[in-house]
């Protein structure tokens, strides 16, 4: 069941949002939803592909979460689009109904099949985005979300300090507050945080990263182009982008080969990337519970 089946106010709000996005004096049919199909996946929003009576299609996400989650998503998509390197869906609009449902309306992408060529194209384009967006500070203009967890983006000049204070420490504290850790976990975590300056590079410029780059957040369109969704952007050390790519739904070898042809990663990145995996694993521990405890402990023990 989608939210549209029992939320007429939501349905009407989405129709009105689509209508407002159209060109003035458009001769198109009224923006009336004719049908909708639930799209599986995701743990925050209900997602559906809606088809208007005239055949136009849109992708709609809705939930009882605060609208700021969708506002941050909109901002991240705009930031990636502005680089002119990678494709993202166009944002049609967003809003909140009187009954408290927030929603985001996006361009619907016609989905094709992932191939070796699309993986390679994605690797090249991601490297181009990273190279093109080099800057001088880590962080972002606003905090955003990794899943439903707030992701702090306070500006900083030092990557190790930024990663500790804006990424790992908040996640560790959250896990401790939820009684998801043990004394040994806490001991290893303290040791790791104190050693971060010895473990991570601080030699490259901050770059714009997607931030939540697992296979489920990359769609291949029917013309073979990779399309990114659900960003958690920041200006970060580019190696941190690969924490999720190497953790959930790995990309093919063509992706990494193409990336390295365009902008080679520094020696040892495969080992350092485990620390970036830890950020996402502790977030999953906080969101989904104890099944992620052992993967977190394995990395903590390795680097503590």
Asked about 190 being catalytic, the answer comes back as: no
The tally of CA atoms less than 13 A away on the side-chain side of residue 260 is 11
Query: Using an 8 Å Cβ cutoff, are 174 and 167 in contact?
Result: no
Q: Three-state DSSP class for 61?
A: strand
Considering the candidates 212, 223, 230, 267, report the single residue annotated as catalytic: 212
Residue partners of 211: CB distance under 8 A and separation at least 6: 76, 144, 146, 151, 231, 232, 233, 234, 236, 241
CA distance 119 to 200: 27
Contact residues for 55 (Cβ-Cβ < 8 A; gap 6+): none
CB 149 within 8 A of CB 283: yes
Neighbours of 38 (CB within 10 A): 13
Do residues 21 and 92 make contact, with C-beta atoms less than 8 angstroms apart? Answer: yes
Stated as kind and residue range, the H or E segment containing 236 is: strand 234-236
SS3 2: coil
Determine the Cα–Cα distance for residues 81 and 255; give it in Å rounded to an integer. Answer: 20
Catalytic residues: 212
């Amino acid at each position: 069941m989608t939210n549209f089946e029992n939320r007429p106010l939501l349905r009407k709000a989405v129709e009105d949002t689509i209508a407002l996005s159209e060109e003035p004096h458009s001769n198109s049919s009224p923006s009336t939803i004719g049908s909708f199909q639930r799209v599986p996946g995701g743990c925050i929003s209900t997602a559906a592909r809606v088809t208007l009576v005239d055949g136009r299609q849109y992708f709609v996400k809705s939930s009882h979460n605060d609208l700021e989650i969708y506002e941050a998503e909109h901002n991240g998509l705009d930031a990636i689009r502005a680089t002119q390197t990678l494709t993202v869906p166009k944002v049609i609009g967003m809003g909140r109904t009187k009954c408290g449902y927030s929603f985001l309306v996006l361009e619907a992408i016609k989905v094709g099949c992932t191939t070796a060529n699309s993986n390679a194209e994605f690797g090249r384009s991601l490297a181009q985005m990273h190279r093109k967006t080099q800057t001088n500070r880590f962080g972002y203009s606003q905090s955003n979300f990794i899943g439903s967890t707030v992701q702090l983006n306070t500006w900083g000049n030092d990557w190790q300090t930024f990663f500790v204070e804006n990424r790992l420490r908040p996640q560790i504290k959250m896990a401790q507050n939820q009684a998801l850790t043990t004394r040994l976990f806490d001991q290893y975590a303290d040791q790791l945080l104190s050693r971060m300056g010895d473990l991570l590079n601080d030699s490259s410029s901050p770059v714009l990263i997607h931030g939540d780059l697992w296979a489920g957040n990359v769609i291949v369109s029917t013309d073979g182009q990779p399309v990114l969704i659900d960003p958690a952007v920041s200006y970060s050390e580019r190696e941190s982008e690969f924490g999720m790519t190497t953790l959930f739904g790995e990309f093919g070898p063509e992706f990494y080969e193409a990336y390295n042809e365009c902008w080679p990663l520094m020696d040892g990145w495969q080992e350092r990337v485990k620390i970036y995996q830890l950020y996402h694993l502790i977030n999953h521990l906080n969101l989904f519970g104890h099944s992620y405890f052992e993967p977190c402990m394995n990395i903590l023990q390795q680097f503590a």
